[in-house]
Structure 1
Amino acid sequence: MRKKTGLRIWRRFCRDREGVALVEFAMTLPVMLVAYIGMVEVVQLVMINRKVTQLTSALSDLTARVQTVSTTDIDNIFNAAQTILMPYDNSKASMVIASVVIDSAGVARVCWSNQRNGTAPARGATVTVPDSVRVANTSVIMARSSYRYTPAIGYVLTGSFTLGDSPIYARPRNGVAGGTANIEQVTRTGTNACQPFN
């Protein structure tokens, strides 16, 4: 009698499907959570990276539109461009704007530069520019920005990532001819046009 009862209970247990979904859910929940958290962190990284590219483009574009910029103008350009980063923390962004003059030998050197939370190249410093930009006796506005991204959760992506930091170039649209070679450039108030670079 006991054997039959035990066998009956065992068969009933094997046929019982109540709670199977709960057990399966409990087994897959950790995997789903890791996948969700990883997706959120990667999407945030991609969105901020795109905003940094737009920020860099705005810096070069806004500066290339004018003939002369003052320190106040540069501050206004930085302020306007960094609004692109909203809703992200703009204090984690570094921005650099530089006017680069390419001489008759194709050597690119910095005429003037400004930065916010970054390091700007000094006047006269040689910089490497792409061949498509290196046109003798011309100038370009070079902008560079980067963003220090640290994932909020830091479970799938750990540590900090530097996003951006690739220069974008823009030709002056309304520059003035200056320097000994009369190269069209955006000049900065209180700084001599280039060349010379001293």
Structure 2
Amino acid sequence: MRFPMIRAFSARRNRAALRLLTRRFSGNRRGVAAVEFAMILPAMLAIYFGIVETGQAVMIDRKVTQLSRSLVDLTSQASTISNTEMSNIFDAAQTVMMPYTVVVPKMSVHHIVIDSARVARVCWSEERNSTKFARGTTVTVPDDVRLANTSIMMAQASYDFTPVVGWIIKGGAFTIGGSPIYMRPRLGKAGGTASIEQVERSGVAMCPGFS
């Protein structure tokens, strides 16, 4: 008769221990909060770094636009540009990218002459870390600047941006900028077969006459 009493006592003790454990677990909010925080932490980090990287990209986009404007502004102020002056223009314009100087931006400047038929062709082209156009290349420019027997300066700049957390943006680096900006020569000289006002490049014949 003693053994059934022992089993009943053990069962009551187990049930009491289980109730106590349940009360302790349900009353411990800190453990629940820790589990919930661990579950949402990856999403919070992704959102945080996404906001940071987006802010960086927006700032770089503004810098690249300023870089293009600086390039076209500096070249359009010249009447003749030597090799040294062209290098100095690239150096000076590039300073607007600070503090984003880890990556060298792509920069190019093109002097475009529009003939009497309103065909726009490259007279000369210079670049740094980019690609320049061959002399005589036909290019497309907006109608509002494509005036017969005139010339324009065109500058382009871009920046290869790599997010710090590359997995946020699939594919890693992407290019910011690249849109052309145009400006008329302000201190140009008349030259070429049609006496069109243009910015002369040292050692390069003035246009038209693209050969």
Is TM-score (shorter-chain normalized) higher than 0.5?
A: yes
Question: 2:152: which partner in 1?
Answer: 140
Partner residue, 1:82: 94
Q: Secondary structure of the residue that 2:175 maps to in structure 1?
A: strand
How do 1:114-129 and structure 2 match up within 5 A? 114-129=126-141
- CA displacement at 1:91 relative to structure 2: 4.8
Alpha-carbon displacement from aligned partner over 1:109-167 (angstroms, at most 9, x marks no partner): 11111111111111111111111111111110011112222222202013221221221
Aligned to 2:8: none
Contact kept in structure 1, 2:160 and 2:175, CA below 8 Å = yes
List gaps (5 residues or longer) in structure 1. Answer: none
Whole-angstrom distance in 2 between the partners of 1:119 and 1:12: 70
Q: Which residue of 41, 50, 59 corresponds with 2:62? A: 50
SS in 1 for 2:158: strand
- Counterparts of 1:95-174 in structure 2 under 5 Å? 95-157=107-169, 158-174=171-187
Q: CA offset at residue 8 of structure 1? A: 4.3
**Aligned mates of 2:128, 2:115 — CA distance in 1:** 28
- Normalising by structure 1, we get a TM-score of 0.91
Once structures 1 and 2 are overlaid, which stretch shifts more, 88-97 or 144-153?
Answer: 88-97
Could you list the runs of 5+ residues in structure 2 that have no partner in the other structure?
1-11
1:33 aligns with 2:45: yes
Change in 2 beyond 3 A, CA 1:69/1:109: same
1:73-128 Cα distance to aligned partner (Å, 9 max, x none): 11000000111112223653111111100011110011111111111111111111
Are positions 1:63 and 2:72 aligned together? no
Maintained 8 Å contact 2:149/2:196: yes
**Is 1:14 the equivalent of 2:21?**
no
8 Å CA contact 2:103–2:160 kept in 1: the answer is: no
| Amino acid of the structure 2 residue aligned with 1:80 | A
How many aligned positions are there? 198
Structure 1 runs, 4 residues or longer, greater than 4 Å off: none
In 2, the alpha carbon distance for the partners of 1:127 and 1:9 equals 79
For 2:202 and 2:42, the matched residues in 1 are separated by 60
Report deviation, 1:14: 2.2
Task: In structure 2, give the amino acid aligned to 1:193.
Answer: M
- TM normalised by structure 2 equals 0.86
Report SS of the residue matched to 1:19.
Answer: helix
Code of the residue aligned with 1:190 in structure 2: it is G
Percent of counterpart pairs with the same letter? 56
- How far the C-alpha of 1:174 sits from its partner, in A, is 1.5
Which is richer in helix?
2
